[in-house]
Amino acid sequence: MVLLLKKNVFLVCLFFCFTVQSFAGISDFDVLDFGAIGDGKTDNTAAFQTALNKAAEKGGIVHVPAGKFLFKGVLEIPRGVALQGIAEGPNCIYYDIGTILMPTAGRDQENSPPFITLRSSSTLRGLGIVYPEQKPEDIRPYPYCIRMTGRIGNVIDVAIANAYNGIDCGSVYNEGQNLRGINLCALRRGIYIDRSTDIGRLENIHIHSVAWWDINFPERMGDQIALINKYTTENLEGFIIGRCDWEYMVNCFVIWAKVGFRFIETKGDPVGNDPQANILITQSGSDIGPLAVMVEKTQYHCGISFENCQFMDGIQIEEGNRGPIKLTNCGFWGWAESLGGTHIVNKGEGTVYLTACNFNAKNWIECHWKPEIPFIKMENGTLQIMNSRFQDNGNTPNAHIYLGEKVKSAVIIGNSVEGGDLHVSNKSKGDVQILGNVKE
């Protein structure tokens, strides 16, 4: 009886093992089995696309081992297919380890097809992308590295070293994009969100040229780093956000960009009657650049919200905006070069909400501060600021807050100034309430 029982247990285990292997064989594919070679010299376009097309028959994962895989063409990840490298989390790109894809197509042809196009429910994960012909001394245009289409595409734990244009979630209609754990050095455009419906998620995206600096680890790129940073500061738009519904962004960062976050107007979009940005952003920031945030237009009924964010430079809100701009528990301490030193300039008709924010004049001192420069300049619209703090560092401006003639109303309540009184220059003809502000 004991022997019979043991035999039955053995047969059950053996059947289970064969069954697991059988199921794994249906959905898992290896690009090496389709002729891919990771030597950095062989064109792998056909081999990868053949593997992806095979996986598309029933859906599945195409695995890419460590190696340097060159591509002279472009790839499409079909519906329900994942292209997956060896990385199991956010990663950096090093030439000597990991899964590296090396595209060359599209040089000097910015409007040509992207390197990788994702269809509905497809995934790109666990790998790095390097443009081997892109040089800091001679930066050239390329199309977008990755384009999202359809519903719920995923780019997860991907590092991109030197894309001219990064990830495109806006050129065609898409829904519920999921971008997570991305380290990206983009040179012209970082992440583009537009023509997007419920509900996109952007998490832990780091737009920083360090993704290019370290590919020859342990050595960095030396003098070339200054060339890269100069180019991005003059050209890069980090996060470009147009029409979206209830988009959520958390733990996202950009540095050395001409504009960190740019909210654009999507003109002529037939979907909806207010085709602009509707997004909540938290634990994020823009560091070292002429302008942290540019708001051209947002959805009128909801606008955009920044919470627990940091801005090394200023925020400019253009005339066309009528939606609310809400900032809670945010910090400002940059020079705001594009705004002449002012941290927030509002030209639009909408309301600017500032709650528990901190304004620090540290960089003013370093950049030839002048007393006529206010922290906040409202040329239009409505201001509601409360429980916020101004740190003058011994350089009190003529006005912490300037209210122009077109300002419809303002509530300035419960704020404090380090070492002095709150100064408000009020040119508004509207209803302005100033009360309960204190000297520290």
Task: Report DSSP state, residue 33.
Answer: G
Query: Residues near 398 by Cβ (< 8 Å), separated by ≥ 6?
Result: 371, 372, 374, 423, 425
Nearest to 229 by CA among 248, 254, 199, 249: 254
pLDDT per residue, tens digit, the chain (440 aa), is 444 444 454 444 444 444 444 344 568 999 999 999 999 999 999 999 999 999 999 999 999 999 999 999 999 999 999 999 999 999 999 999 999 999 999 999 999 999 999 999 999 999 999 999 999 999 999 999 999 999 999 999 999 999 999 999 999 989 999 999 999 999 999 999 999 888 899 999 999 999 999 999 999 999 999 999 999 999 999 999 999 888 999 999 999 999 999 999 887 655 556 678 889 999 999 999 999 999 999 999 889 999 999 999 899 999 999 999 999 999 998 777 778 889 999 999 999 999 999 998 766 556 666 888 899 999 999 999 999 999 987 778 899 999 999 999 999 999 999 988 999 999 999 999 999 999 98
Instruction: Please state the pTM of the whole predicted model.
Output: 0.92
How far apart CA 407 and CA 352 sit, in angstroms, is 11
Task: Report DSSP state, residue 114.
Answer: P
How far apart CA 146 and CA 83 sit, in angstroms, is 13
- What is the pLDDT, as a whole number, of residue 365? 54
- What is the pLDDT, as a whole number, of residue 420? 85
End-to-end alpha carbon distance in the chain: 87
Radius of gyration of the chain, Cα coordinates, nearest whole angstrom: 26
Contact 184, 192 (CB under 8 A): no
Nearest to 324 by CA among 245, 402, 384: 384
* Superfamily of chain region 28-235: Single-stranded right-handed beta-helix, Pectin lyase-like (2.160.20.10)
Cα of 273 vs its chain's centroid, Å: 26
Q: Are strands 376-378 and 389-391 parallel, antiparallel or unpaired?
A: unpaired
Nearest to 312 by CA among 294, 290, 338: 290
Query: Residues near 345 by Cβ (< 8 Å), separated by ≥ 6?
Result: 314, 315, 316, 317, 339, 377, 379
Coil, strand or helix at 338:
helix
- What is the pLDDT, as a whole number, of residue 260? 97
Q: Where are the domains of the chain?
A: 28-235, 246-440
- What is the pLDDT, as a whole number, of residue 273? 60
Contact 437, 420 (CB under 8 A): no
How far apart CA 273 and CA 263 sit, in angstroms, is 17
Contact 383, 357 (CB under 8 A): no
